[in-house]
Amino acid sequence: MGMPELSAGDKLPGVLPMVFQQAVAQADIAISITDARGVILFVNPAFSRVTGYEAAEAIGRNESILSNKTTPSEVYKTLWQRISRGMAWNGTLVNRRKDGTRYLAELVITPVLDAGGAVVNYLGMHRDITEVHRLACEVRNQKALIESVVDAAPIVIALLDAADRVVLDNHEYKKLQADLGMAEPAPLLMAAVRSALAQEVQAAAQPDPRRAGYLFLDREVRIDRPGAKGPLWFSCSATAVSEADTGADNFFAGARRDYVLLLAKDITGLRMQQEKARMAALRAMLAEEDRASALRESLSAAVFQLEGPLNMVASAVHMLTRRQGASPGDPMAAALADAVRTGEAALANLRAMIPHRVAEAAGPVNLNEVLRDVLDVSTQRLLGAGISVTWQPQAILPALQGHPNKLRAMFKALVDNAIDAMSGRGWRERELSVATRVAGESIEALVEDSGPGVPAGDQLKVFEPFYTTRRGSGAGGHLGTGLSGAQQIAADHGGSISIDAAHVPGCRVRVELPVQRR
């Protein structure tokens, strides 16, 4: 049923016409009824309040008295096209009050049809939405302003929802995505920081008072990139953000939605300088460790070789004294006993000269960093042997608890073995590939070479102490303890090393180290 004609009220039963009239009169929305040409026949008090025209001033005039003449004529055309065909129209017009002031009218026009379907009247209802429009514009402007500030900010910004999905980001974030060739690096940055924080909580770290209001502040995360590109470092901070849920379901419940605002500042430039200094110190330390280890092995070998003859002389003295009975004056026995004493003193001196291994404290270790260190310090050997290197790290690795120097030594042994394997005379394929990835709760590192590989029967034996597939002098200065030592270091970290039997040609060594040690 359409709206009743003004005269149709008396056809309605009982008190209804009265109720309609009161409802229209008291409604807080400007209501007008026109004839088919838009000439006003009726207005309610709210119409007079909104437009400034009293009923007597409006009735008999066209609704165009409200037009500010700035609404494009196309709008009116469409309006009339619809309503004159019996269809409702709604839209927003710029209206002018009687006093000349302008306001935005949100208008609905509904045609009133007679029994034959012809349009006889129009019912217009409008309200002043100037203030609502102003607020909506302000929100839009503010949003645009915030977005341009966020976009222009020289740091990576990403807003993540409770499921770690990125719901807002900025230009720098998009640059990072392109640079890493990765859809969403933000959840990975968050995961890396969370894993570091979890380890700190386990280590009962004291909360940082500067952290108030932050979920975390200035946490450093390293992102490794494949190939020759160096790693990137970001200083990450995050704050919790919550907003009112806009859904109708939560209109009365007042529920809120929680987000995390992640800010990541690129500190690669600064870190690279520190890295140069660290690499120089590392090279010096490794050179010193090489020297100490060579000395340790030579002295141990000397001690071992002297111990045999000296033990034999000591037993000879012992036998001589027992056979001849106690004769303290025997010059032969005295000379031999003296030689044994001097020999033992010399051995004790040699043992004391063996350099001690320095105990190393465990701490959070980034395996990508360890592997890059090893590749960096091996650059000369790799270049010298004409080996090309492929570096394929997982961009962000969680830190594991470990001894960085031991782990470096472990991977150094694997890389040295790979270099040795490919350095045979006439061997053409010289490619080393090093990759890392997170595999479940562990980190997996693969060191692959294109050398002749380890024969199937030797793939377990190579981990035995003093076993070597190299015959002769032990090229590269190794005594053959490389893999067994490496295996020991992996085991000390709760992990393992294995040779991938299925990988042919060449040799693929798989190292698995758990992130959390049980």
Which two three-digit tokens encode residue 213? 């209001």
Chain residues 256-315 in contact with ligand FAD, contact rule CB under 6 A = none
Strands (E) across 253-387 are located at 256-266, 363-365
Selected from 31, 38, 170, 190, the binder of ligand FAD by CB under 6 A is 38
Are 411 and 371 in contact by the 8 Å Cβ rule? The answer is: yes
* Closest to ligand FAD by CB, 38 or 231: 38
Selected from 11, 49, 77, 140, the binder of ligand FAD by CB under 6 A is 77
Are 423 and 417 in contact by the 8 Å Cβ rule? The answer is: no
Site for ligand FAD contains 48 (CB under 6 A): no
Which residue is listed with tokens 């000379």? 335
Dist CA 282 CA 295 (whole Å): 19
Site for ligand FAD contains 70 (CB under 6 A): no
DSSP secondary structure letter of residue 404: H
Selected from 2, 45, 61, 76, the binder of ligand FAD by CB under 6 A is 76
* Closest to ligand FAD by CB, 68 or 268: 68
- Contact region with ligand FAD (CB under 6 A), list: 66-74, 276-284, 443-451, 483-491: 66-74
- Contact region with ligand FAD (CB under 6 A), list: 69-77, 270-278, 299-307, 477-485: 69-77
- Contact region with ligand FAD (CB under 6 A), list: 71-79, 131-139, 420-428, 448-456: 71-79
* Closest to ligand FAD by CB, 126 or 403: 126
Dist CA 231 CA 271 (whole Å): 10
Site for ligand FAD contains 66 (CB under 6 A): yes
* Closest to ligand FAD by CB, 104 or 509: 104
Comparing C-alpha atoms, which of 462, 469, 456, 377 is closest to residue 424? 469
Query: Minimum CB separation from ligand FAD for residue 77, in Å?
Result: 5
Dist CA 446 CA 411 (whole Å): 10
Query: Minimum CB separation from ligand FAD for residue 138, in Å?
Result: 25
* Closest to ligand FAD by CB, 71 or 235: 71
Site for ligand FAD contains 64 (CB under 6 A): yes
Site for ligand FAD contains 73 (CB under 6 A): yes
* Closest to ligand FAD by CB, 41 or 168: 41
Site for ligand FAD contains 80 (CB under 6 A): yes
Dist CA 61 CA 46 (whole Å): 18
Rg (CA), the chain: 43
Chain residues 95-114 in contact with ligand FAD, contact rule CB under 6 A = 95, 105, 107, 109
If one counts every other C-beta atom within 10 angstroms of the C-beta of residue 98, the result is 14
Tally helices (H) and strands (E) across the chain. 13, 17
Comparing C-alpha atoms, which of 43, 20, 51, 29 is closest to residue 122? 43
Comparing C-alpha atoms, which of 151, 197, 3 is closest to residue 88? 3
* Closest to ligand FAD by CB, 107 or 462: 107
Cα–Cα distance list, 516 to 107, 198, 202 (Å) = 65, 10, 11
Site for ligand FAD contains 44 (CB under 6 A): no
Phi, psi of 513 (to 5 degrees): -130, 125
Query: Minimum CB separation from ligand FAD for residue 29, in Å?
Result: 12
- Contact region with ligand FAD (CB under 6 A), list: 60-68, 234-242, 363-371, 466-474: 60-68
Site for ligand FAD contains 93 (CB under 6 A): yes
Cα–Cα distance list, 418 to 287, 431, 497, 508 (Å) = 20, 9, 15, 9
Which residue is listed with tokens 């806009």? 246
**Amino acid found at 216:** F
Dist CA 430 CA 151 (whole Å): 46
Site for ligand FAD contains 124 (CB under 6 A): yes
Site for ligand FAD contains 481 (CB under 6 A): no
* Closest to ligand FAD by CB, 75 or 438: 75
Query: Minimum CB separation from ligand FAD for residue 126, in Å?
Result: 6
* Closest to ligand FAD by CB, 79 or 333: 79
Sequence length of the chain is: 518
Selected from 48, 62, 392, 433, the binder of ligand FAD by CB under 6 A is 62
Site for ligand FAD contains 409 (CB under 6 A): no
146: Cα within 13 Å, side-chain hemisphere: 9
Site for ligand FAD contains 63 (CB under 6 A): yes
| Residues near 409 by beta carbon (within 8 Å), at least 6 away in sequence | 289, 485, 486, 489
Are 516 and 365 in contact by the 8 Å Cβ rule? The answer is: no
Site for ligand FAD contains 47 (CB under 6 A): no
* Closest to ligand FAD by CB, 80 or 251: 80
- Contact region with ligand FAD (CB under 6 A), list: 13-21, 65-73, 402-410, 455-463: 65-73
Dist CA 435 CA 445 (whole Å): 6
Selected from 37, 210, 356, 518, the binder of ligand FAD by CB under 6 A is 37
Dist CA 130 CA 280 (whole Å): 68
Which residue is listed with tokens 């090489």? 290
Selected from 45, 57, 84, 168, the binder of ligand FAD by CB under 6 A is 84
Size of the site for ligand FAD (CB under 6 A): 24
Dist CA 435 CA 297 (whole Å): 32
* Closest to ligand FAD by CB, 38 or 398: 38
Question: Which residues lie near ligand FAD (CB under 6 A)?
Answer: 32, 34, 37-38, 62-64, 66-67, 69, 71, 73, 76-77, 80, 84, 93, 95, 105, 107, 109, 122, 124, 126
